[in-house]
Structures are given as C-alpha cells and as structure tokens.
Amino acid sequence: MSGRRRSTVELGHDAFLDIVANLVGILIILVVVLGTQTQRITEMLRDSVESELQIVENDEPVEKLIEPAPESPVEAVASRAQLDKLGEMAMRAASAQRDSMRIEANLRRYNDQISRLSDARGRLLDLLSIAEAAWEEKKSELDETKVLAAKNQRQIREIESEIAELAGTKERLENEEAPLVAVEHLPTPMAKTVFGDEIDFRLKAGKLSLVPVEPLMKQIKEDARRMTQRPGKDASTVGPIRDYIANYVVEREVGRVTQNGRTSMAMATRLGAVAFEPLNDSVGQPVAQVLRDRSFLDIELAGRDPHSTTITVWVYPDSFGELRQLKEHLYQRGFATAARPLLDGQAIIFSSRGTRSKAQ
C-alpha cells in the first residue's frame, strides 16, 4: 500500500513540473520574438523622428528636401497611413514589452513556486521514507512477537502432555504393589594377612593380566649373582616374561658378622625395591571375556588349593567395577581376594620394607 501511495504523489508532481516547464519555454520564445519586433520598430521610429526634426530645422518644404531616389520608385516621405501604422506598431511594441515584463514577473513567481514545491516534495519523500522504515520495524517486531507466542504455545502443549503422562504413570504406580528388590552383596569377613601361595594379577582399563612374580624373582637372583661383588647399590632389569619385566636394586654393605663366637668382616647383600612393569599398557584380556571363556583364569588356578592360595589384584582407578565382578567370580570358586589399589602411572613395586597383602 505504501508503494502505490508513493507512486501517485510522484506522478502528480512530475505532471505539474512538465506543465510549468512547457509554459516557461513558450514564454521564453514569445519574449524573444516580441523583443526582436520591438527593436525593429524602435529603429524605424528613430529614423522617422530624425528625418522630421531635420525638416523642421531647415524650414524648407518637404517636397524640396525629399527627392526621389534615382533607382527606387518608392517615395522617401512616409504617408499618413504609414505613420498611423507605425504608431500602431509602437503601441503594440509597448504593449508587448509590458506583456514581456509581466510574463517575466510571472516566470519568477512560478520559479519560486516550483522551488517551494520541490522543497515540500523532498520533505514529503523524507517523511515517507521514515514512515516506511518505522512500518517495517513495527512489522518485524510483530512477526517476532508472533513467532515467540507460537513457540511458547508449543512448549505449553508439550509440558501439558508431560504432566498428563506423569499423572497417568503416578496413578498406575499407586495401583501396583511395591516390587521386592533383591540386593546382591558379598560377605565381608575379617581380612587376614596372606602367608600361603599368592597369585598376582594386574587390572587396568578393564583388562586382566597375570604378573609373573615368581619367574621374574628367580631371574633376579640369578642375575644378582653375576654382578660385581662390591659395596654399594646396583640396578638392573630382567625379563621379559609373559610381557612383563622387573627393574630391581641390590644393596651391598660391609659389616661385622659374628659366627661361632668369632667376629669378622663380611659383605651383606640385600634386595631392595623391585618394580614389575608391562611392556605396554594394552597387555591383558577384558574381564568380561575372561569370565565368559574362563580358559585364561582356569589355567592359572588349576591345581591350586582355594584354602591356601590367595589372589592379589593390583587395580587402577579406572577398573573398580571390573574388580567387583572378578571378586564375585573368585568368591564362588572359594578363593580369597586381596585388592591393592594403585595410582595412574604407578608401577607394581615389591620391597623388603613393604607389607604383605590382606585377603578377604
């Protein structure tokens, strides 16, 4: 609607300006024509008056002063009719000059009106632009309000549907009998220190692997005998056995030894800390697979007495859930389990100053 109104206003101003421009052009042409005729008539009147004044000053008859031209049949003296015509033309010239002055005044007035109308047209166009911008802004605000209202209405319907569904669920649960929940748990007897056979497992990232402590300890004893027998500390590494190695330290020092009542100097050898580490962190099998197939675990537990064998599991924080599954399985088979938590990045370390595992 704003586009049609603007076109109508601009069409009216353009038509009016065309009419005024045509009128000004006609007036200019008329002024030029009248000016040309007025100049011609003025020159003719000036020549005629000068001739009459010359005749009066000489005080001679007109017939003697004016002689016919040798080659022109027209008389040099104007007749009364010509003078009358000349006067008429002079009057017409004066009237035309007055008309020209009036037309020029009208032209200036029309120019002033055109200037004022042009300024008014510019202001109207500015107001129209402002009105259109305000209309578009209000229209966008109205559209956003409609969209927000529709969104809120949709959310209200969704919430009402959820409320109705929850009310139906509540009514159904109120009419049902409360179910009995069975809680599975493991007995928690008093922990006791392990002194019999012990099997060590490592549980990290949900994977279970056997730590070959006994075979690696045998290699450590053999490797320590080959070392130079000198006081101080020596470090070495043995393995790998079943994807594990052992880093150990041997401490030797000279001291007094009493035997059979005799005191002598001798060298005492003592095994320091031993760190068992896998070749890579992905060693082992997932606990779910171990419990499902049981081949790996059955081989390790075959021929061992549950009453004299304790299983120690070195577990990391990411595998406590799998530890519970493993303990349930071992409890059903009668084996006691000792859990030794480790921090991320910490190795399995045995030390002569350490403590023994406590099993349940």
In 134-261, DSSP assigns E strands to: 192-193, 197-204, 207-210, 232-241, 244-259
- Exposed, middle or buried: residue 231 (CB in 10 Å: 0-12, 13-18, 19+)? exposed
Closest to 14 measured CA to CA, from 114, 90, 148: 114
Sequence length of the chain is 360
Q: Are 319 and 203 in contact (CB under 8 A)?
A: yes
Q: What would the pLDDT profile of 71-90 be if each residue is shown by its tens digit? A: 444 444 556 777 777 778 77
Using alpha carbons only, what angle is made at residue 175 by residues 169 and 181, rounded to the nearest 5 degrees?
Answer: 85
Mind listing the pLDDT tens digit of every residue in the chain (360 residues)? 444 444 444 445 566 667 777 777 777 877 777 777 777 777 777 776 666 555 544 544 444 444 444 444 444 455 677 777 777 877 887 888 888 888 888 888 888 889 888 888 888 998 998 988 888 888 888 778 888 888 888 889 889 888 988 888 888 877 776 655 544 545 544 445 545 678 898 989 888 888 998 999 898 888 888 776 777 788 888 878 888 999 988 887 776 766 676 776 666 777 878 889 998 888 888 888 888 876 778 888 888 888 888 888 899 988 888 888 888 888 888 888 888 998 888 888 887 665 555 444
- Exposed, middle or buried: residue 175 (CB in 10 Å: 0-12, 13-18, 19+)? exposed
> So what's the pLDDT on residue 49?
60
Q: Are 69 and 76 in contact (CB under 8 A)?
A: yes
Three-class DSSP category at 75: coil
**Dihedrals phi, psi of 181, to nearest 5 degrees:** -105, 125
pTM over 0.75: no
CA 317 to CA 203: how far, in whole Å? 9
**Domain-wise residue ranges, the chain:** 2-143, 192-229+277-359
Strand partners, 77: none
Distance of CA 62 to the CA centre of its chain: 110
Q: What would the pLDDT profile of 25-77 be if each residue is shown by its tens digit? A: 777 877 777 777 777 777 777 776 666 555 544 544 444 444 444 444 444 45
Other CB atoms closer than 10 Å to residue 97's CB: what's the count?
Answer: 15
User: Which structure tokens are listed for 360?
Assistant: 């349940």
